[in-house]
Chain A
Amino acid sequence: MYVYDEYDHKIIGERVAQFRRQTDRYLAGELKEEEFLPLRLQNGLYVQRLAPMLRIAVPYGMLNSTQLRKVAHITRKYDKGYCHFTTRQNIQLNWPALEQVPDILAELAEVEMHAVQTSGNCIRNVTTDQFAGVATDETVDPRPYCEIIRQWSTFHPEFAFLPRKFKIAVSGTEEDRAAIYFHDIGLQLVKNERGEIGFKVIVGGGLGRTPIIGSVVRDFLPEKDILTYLESILRVYNLNGRRDNKYKARIKILVKSMGVEAFAKAVDTEWDKVRDSQTLLTEREIARAHSFFTTPEYAELIEDDAQAQLAALTQNNPAFGKWLSRNVRDHKQPGYRAVNLSLKPIGVPPGDVTDKQLEAIADLADRYSFGEVRSTHEQNLVLADVKAADLFDLWAELKAHGFATANIGTLTDMICCPGGDYCSLANAKSIPVADDLHREFDDLDYLYDLGDIDLNISGCMNACGHHHIGHIGILGVDKRGEEFYQVQLGGSQKYDAKLAKVLGPSFAREEVTGVVRKIIETYVDARQDGEAFLATYERIGLSPFKERVYAKAS
């Protein structure tokens, strides 16, 4: 992963000092509330229902064991001993004290971490596929480019007061695991006929109140042009995005109102002026970025041996076999696997991890996976470089720590926002809904039989739980002051991007589990040839589900 040099250390150090001074001035009454607001947001500090919340950046999901241990220490010293992994691969602390945040940032800087621009009307954390660098279907490793874009966007002086937040995601594989069609800018790494690396550029996707699938503005942008082109997009947005209405201020609204062609033309007009500037990337810098993401010192292993060994173990241990089939993924390197750690056991808010668990994961990362771990936008973690021969031992250890729930990709591997329990924007609680569903669908065999189902829960229209792009989406709504839940079906976050459709009138919380059960039963009754949930839905449509769910009891 990326390692700071003296320049990075200096820049982050100056940021910590800047924010410490800003906090001091604010506490001394020299900075007004509304002036301090953008400053603290751009240092990750968000004031929430119960307490300030600090959002720590995890650049494109990469973490090392030293960083995990530091975060564990921080949760103990400054918080309530746990943290939360978010749908943008970041980490949130729910209970820091405002006066202590400069100290927290100073401690984070010691391990090359920060909370820069994780909130506010600026360019946010660049996210990517949790299997970057090890995925078998990878065209180009996105991480060097994520790091290049991260540096370009960090403390960018022109784009810190945008009309609204700005989110960029990068994908380097055939399957889109980074939801790039649902970001302000989505970038897909591709190669042209000559084998040169470039980007397909997608602009104006997003969820929230007005969910929109992004539009392609460039089919192939050579890699060295990425920063100048991004600058052009941001400049067009900064100058022309709406500033009169917070809910109409994202770039997706601008692209829609201008039309994609006019928008792309405006970007090109600007780009013509900057494409030969010094912001044009150099081969040297591209190479430098790549140099941080070389392959680790893999052992030379034989894949066939690994498979034979795993088959034998599975025979004797079906539970291991289940975990293997759901939570473990193939790897580019023979004899290696990528292991998902499920942060979704029953009774735990999805994505929450305690300090002890963080330290256990750090330990496991050191012993099994070259000291690194990745956070996923589905709120799980990944040990990306595990020897197949080590899987059985690792599984035993994961079980002991509560990370081996073999439910990755299933109904109970839910994306769930913090919701009304924590968030002042929420219309309804989301965590208890997730909990109820988890308890209802606790039979793993049954879950496996159901196959891949993305169930996403958001506590309000801001859609932090990505309900629009779940196969089953649940949205908390406020109906006459009470918590109700609207159910949607048929969304997809992959390259076949789709938005879910509303099933019908909303439900009270105690009804939700029953509704999901009826949806599942409809699927099971109708499915053909082992098709997955989404395929059945697409074949039979919304009506059968609607009829079953809303049928009067006889």
Chain B
Amino acid sequence: MPKLVNLESSQADNWQLLELESEIPADTNASLLPLESFLVNVEKLDQCGVWLSSADDIYALEPHLSKVSVVAFRFESFMDGRGFSQARILREHLDYKGQVRAIGQFIQDQLHYLLRCGFNEFSVADDADEDSLRESLADFSESYQAGCDVPAPLFRRRA
């Protein structure tokens, strides 16, 4: 079973990743619904997670964010960087305060940038080396540009 790593700790990732054809369970507290399923069923749904592919439009979630406890961005390929922009839009334009999770094919060395773009949870293989992951999360202690972690760019903070 994969694990869910955040800044402080890790735990087993027992979230259920649903596909378009999947049946939506009665209790969706630990379910990640594909965006389309969520939108179609949104009236009936209570707290759940939603996952987006790189091609999905994050703005589609805008009217329903109060129902979404986790927004997960699924990376089909780590070379596809759309998730970075999608997450930033979610945090900075849509002011989302819930969990933003990276799932799928992102790599360890993207962790720091993912963090800066608003991700706070990462679903990784169960045998992933956590110490190494945390080192990568903290690759840089200082950055030039604004990010979700430090919203003031360096030029506003230079002594």
CB distance A238 to B82 under 8 Å? yes
B109 neighbours in A (Cβ, 8 Å)? 22, 31, 35, 39
CB distance A238 to B145 under 8 Å? no
Output the least CB separation between B53 and chain A (Å).
12
Per-position contact with A for B121-138: 1 when CB-CB < 8 Å, else 0? 000000000001001000
Find A7's partner among B79, B82, B117, B154 (CB 8 Å cutoff).
Answer: B154
CB distance A238 to B155 under 8 Å? no
From B26-34, B37-45, B83-91, give the one contacting chain A. B83-91
CB distance B84 to A161 under 8 Å? yes
CB distance A161 to B79 under 8 Å? yes
A449 at the B interface (CB under 8 A): no
Q: Using A11-B140, A14-B141, A152-B145 as known contacts, say yes or no to A157 and B116 having CB atoms under 8 A apart.
A: yes
A161 neighbours in B (Cβ, 8 Å)? 78-81, 84, 110
From A105-113, A250-258, A277-285, give the one contacting chain B. A277-285
A277 neighbours in B (Cβ, 8 Å)? 92, 146
Chain A 219-234 residues near chain B, CB threshold 8 A: 227
Main secondary structure of the interface of A (DSSP, over half): helix
A231 to B, closest residue via Cβ: B145
CB distance A154 to B86 under 8 Å? no
B15 at the A interface (CB under 8 A): no
A2 neighbours in B (Cβ, 8 Å)? none
CB distance A278 to B139 under 8 Å? no
CB distance B151 to A278 under 8 Å? yes
Per-position contact with A for B83-105: 1 when CB-CB < 8 Å, else 0? 01110110011000000000000
A64 at the B interface (CB under 8 A): no
CB distance B144 to A11 under 8 Å? yes
CB distance A35 to B78 under 8 Å? yes
Give A164 to B147 CA distance when docked, in angstroms.
22
A160 to B, closest residue via Cβ: B113
CB distance A278 to B153 under 8 Å? yes
A14 neighbours in B (Cβ, 8 Å)? 139-142
A462 at the B interface (CB under 8 A): no
Give A363 to B127 CA distance when docked, in angstroms.
56
Q: Using A14-B140, A235-B85, A239-B82 as known contacts, say yes or no to A157 and B155 having CB atoms under 8 A apart.
A: no
CB distance A21 to B140 under 8 Å? no
Give A288 to B79 CA distance when docked, in angstroms.
36
Give A295 to B110 CA distance when docked, in angstroms.
41
CB distance A160 to B135 under 8 Å? no
Q: Which residue, of B79, B80, B116, B151, has the highest number of chain A Cβ atoms within 10 A?
A: B79
Output the least CB separation between B122 and chain A (Å).
15
A157 neighbours in B (Cβ, 8 Å)? 84, 112-117, 143, 145, 147
B152 at the A interface (CB under 8 A): yes
B12 at the A interface (CB under 8 A): no
A17 to B, closest residue via Cβ: B139
CB distance A239 to B143 under 8 Å? no
B85 neighbours in A (Cβ, 8 Å)? 158, 235, 238-239
CB distance B139 to A18 under 8 Å? yes
Output the least CB separation between A208 and chain B (Å).
20
Q: Using A14-B139, A18-B139, A22-B109 as known contacts, say yes or no to A158 and B84 having CB atoms under 8 A apart.
A: yes
A209 at the B interface (CB under 8 A): no
B87 to A, closest residue via Cβ: A158
Give A243 to B135 CA distance when docked, in angstroms.
30
Give A273 to B116 CA distance when docked, in angstroms.
19
Give A154 to B143 CA distance when docked, in angstroms.
9
A162 at the B interface (CB under 8 A): yes
CB distance A279 to B82 under 8 Å? no
Q: Using A22-B109, A238-B85, A239-B85 as known contacts, say yes or no to A281 and B155 having CB atoms under 8 A apart.
A: yes
Find B117's partner among A11, A21, A31, A158 (CB 8 Å cutoff).
Answer: A158
Output the least CB separation between A392 and chain B (Å).
45
Output the least CB separation between A147 and chain B (Å).
11
Find B144's partner among A121, A154, A158, A159 (CB 8 Å cutoff).
Answer: A154
Q: Which residue, of B78, B114, B145, B153, has the highest number of chain A Cβ atoms within 10 A?
A: B145
A11 neighbours in B (Cβ, 8 Å)? 140, 142-144
A548 at the B interface (CB under 8 A): no
CB distance B152 to A278 under 8 Å? yes
A399 neighbours in B (Cβ, 8 Å)? none
Give A113 to B56 CA distance when docked, in angstroms.
40
A155 at the B interface (CB under 8 A): yes
CB distance B158 to A5 under 8 Å? yes
CB distance B155 to A288 under 8 Å? yes
Q: Using A14-B140, A151-B155, A282-B156 as known contacts, say yes or no to A160 and B81 having CB atoms under 8 A apart.
A: yes
CB distance B146 to A279 under 8 Å? yes
A39 neighbours in B (Cβ, 8 Å)? 109
Give A277 to B151 CA distance when docked, in angstroms.
9
B20 at the A interface (CB under 8 A): no
B107 at the A interface (CB under 8 A): yes
CB distance A10 to B142 under 8 Å? yes
Output the least CB separation between A331 and chain B (Å).
31
Chain A 4-41 residues near chain B, CB threshold 8 A: 5, 7, 10-11, 14-15, 18, 21-22, 25, 31, 35, 38-39
A285 neighbours in B (Cβ, 8 Å)? 155-156
CB distance A151 to B146 under 8 Å? no
Output the least CB separation between A248 and chain B (Å).
15
A156 at the B interface (CB under 8 A): yes
Output the least CB separation between A86 and chain B (Å).
24
CB distance B80 to A278 under 8 Å? no
Chain A 129-174 residues near chain B, CB threshold 8 A: 148, 151-152, 154-162
Q: Can you offer 29 A-B residue contacts whose CB atoms are under 8 A?
A: A5-B158, A10-B141, A11-B140, A11-B144, A14-B139, A18-B140, A22-B109, A38-B79, A151-B144, A152-B145, A154-B144, A155-B145, A157-B116, A157-B117, A157-B147, A158-B88, A161-B79, A161-B80, A161-B110, A227-B153, A235-B89, A239-B82, A278-B146, A278-B151, A279-B146, A281-B155, A282-B155, A285-B155, A285-B156
- Closest CB pairs A-B (n = 3): A161-B81, A157-B113, A157-B116
Known A10-B141, A155-B143, A157-B115; further 8 A-B contacts with Cβ < 8 A: A7-B142, A11-B142, A14-B141, A25-B132, A152-B153, A155-B140, A156-B144, A158-B116
